[in-house]
Structure 1
């Protein structure tokens, strides 16, 4: 279990360093630059390094360390709970940033900056993690360095099945995200962590269950076994389609493109009361006889 302890210490170190980076950036940068650039950069760096180390444990741990998937799933849940609590509003996910743009919550310039920061953070995370593995602090890292040149694609099923799996994971993740947007972090963070853990357990054997295009690009695009366009179809088009489907299902429209609700009929907030005529007993309506009704004859239900 010494190798597992080294990985757990690495997780703590990554979260601590990224938290320091966030605090320094918040003090030195303007709120706009921090929110669009530094926060996303730190979040993407933290997510990429943690997920690469965890993916290494998934591949090598069962036969190299003797622990089962329950250990990895527990670590996954705890990691994403920590990410949710420490990200300070960052998404570290291009589909979430594009969703905010389509919901008119972010401008084009801010969205483009976030996407660039996410790409830079993922690239830095991949490079730093590779350097960390080269130190071979545990037997897991030694094995990882030996098998790294023979890296195999995470797509282990037909392409249309893989794209459907990534799209479905993204669809369910974004539906939960929509539902919990206004919830208190005490409830939102563990609920999202549990959702990610469940989706990873379900779709992981088929595609790795990234449903994050930037993370998938850093983790598996360099591996052999699938072409570049296969990766684009599965890890970019699949999650983007899932996000758009969740947005349409939840909102009924895409505010950035059109305002009309395509799925749901808008109901008026106010009820228009119906007018009733009061007539004296044994007499017909004054209006029916052509005479104007007295003011007391009108009442609103």
Structure 2
């Protein structure tokens, strides 16, 4: 099929899915007149074309049933959404279980080598990216309530933290570890390479999973060609500032909770992540992870690679660096200066 015809068909499929309410309100003529009749030859869409033609002509008739996976009606919307959420949750659980099993296998197989940490980094970042793809689909295409989406974000953050087995899953966090000499520079670079490799693998694997059509949500997304729109809804400098602020908040939370017990720390950090997603989600999607953004945001249409790089790579890196420099350099210097000012005069002369 020619490129123009394919774009016309994809546009038509989008109108069919997103324009169900307009059809019920008598807007079928507007929809039908905005496209050609060629896409109606697509198998499974003839019935919907006839409904659009009838709506445009004003003929009253009893609407024949359409498969809910193609055109969910208002009456079954909550039922279909519940089914979609249930399937997506099952997918998330399956990804986490398979990833955990893989982590344990590679840990045993590579225990006597130096490759274990890199294998765990690969698997854990793959888990993070795949789960985020599914949650992003639920939120953007499935249209679940924001409160439910934030709840899933919180729970996913807790589960990832508990199952990562020492993996970092974030290039910015890896650089922070290297800065504090917890990792060598070579180890940090290899971990970052693993993170981006896993992000690319998840980016390629998730459409294959969705193409199986396990839920109506997956089927609708497949009809749209697995396309997504750029989540950047602000000028680039503002979007980069939002990503930087989110990364700053999360890095600060990670830094100041290191002394807490792990069972409490994961919930504290997850709460900060969820708050950051709630605050910046409408502007950039609030990813604040360069590898995760490469997997979930870079394939979306509407912005260039350079735009995405500035927002999702440079922004989080600046946010992480700002947090580290603030609490490692600036705050200790201010505290030393403040303590010096409060010393007795004779002590100041001696110092």
Aligned to 1:282: none
Give the Cα separation in 1 of the matches to 2:225 and 2:268.
34
Task: Give per-residue Cα distances to partners, 1:134-164, cap 9 Å, x unaligned.
Answer: 1111111112122346421111111111000
Structure 2 distance, partners of 1:145, 1:96, is: 34
Q: Cα 1:150–1:48, aligned 2, differ >3 Å: closer, same or farther?
A: closer
Number of aligned positions between the proteins = 259
Partner of 1:177: 254
Matches of 2:334 and 2:250, distance apart in 1: 21
TM-superposed CA distance for 1:31, in Å, is 6.2
Structure 2: 5+ residue runs without aligned partners?
A: 1-81, 341-345, 347-351
- 1:14 equivalent to 2:91? Answer no
SS in 1 for 2:88: helix
Give the C-alpha shift of residue 32 in structure 1: 3.5
Paired position in structure 2 for 1:4: 85
Larger helix fraction of residues: 2
Any residues of structure 2 matched to 1:213-292 within 5 Å, and which?
213-252=290-329, 265=336
Contact map agreement 1:174 1:246 (CA 8 A) in 2 = yes
Is the Cα contact below 8 Å between 2:158 and 2:270 reproduced in 1? yes
Q: Give the conservation status (yes or no) of the 8 Å contact 1:163–1:233.
A: yes
Question: 1:159-212: CA deviations, max 9, x gaps?
Answer: 111000000000000000000122211111111111111111110111010000
Separation of aligned partners in 2, 1:179 and 1:211 = 18
Q: Which residue number corresponds to residue 112 of structure 1?
A: 189
SS in 2 for 1:265: helix
Partners of 1:264 and 1:228 in 2: how far apart? Answer: 42
Are 1:49 and 2:126 an aligned pair?
A: no
Post-superposition, which runs of at least 4 consecutive aligned residues in structure 1 deviate over 4 A? 261-264
8 Å Cα contact 1:43-1:92 kept in structure 2: yes
Task: Say if 1:61 and 1:68, in contact at 8 Å, map to a contact too.
Answer: no
Give me the TM-score of the superposition, normalised by structure 2.
0.70
Please give the alpha-carbon distance, in whole angstroms, between the structure 2 residues aligned to 1:187 and 1:31. 32
Report the counterpart of residue 289 of structure 1 in structure 2: none
Partner of 1:137: 214
Contact persistence 2:154–2:270 (CA under 8 A):
yes
2:105 aligns with one of 7, 24, 38: 24
Inter-partner Cα distance in structure 2 for 1:47 and 1:241: 22
Secondary structure of the 1:32 match is coil
- Alpha-carbon distance in 1 for matches of 2:333, 2:305: 35
Larger RCO (alpha carbons 8 Å, 6+ apart)? 1
What is the SS of the residue equivalent to 1:247?
helix
Offset at residue 53 of structure 1 (A): 0.2
Change in Cα spacing, 1:129 to 1:176, as seen in structure 2 (3 Å) is same
User: Which sections of structure 1, spanning at least 5 residues, go unmatched?
Assistant: 254-260, 269-273, 275-301
Whether 1:92 and 2:92 are equivalent positions in the alignment is no
CA distance in 2, matches of 1:190, 1:148: 37
Q: 1:177 to 1:226 in 2, by over 3 A?
A: same
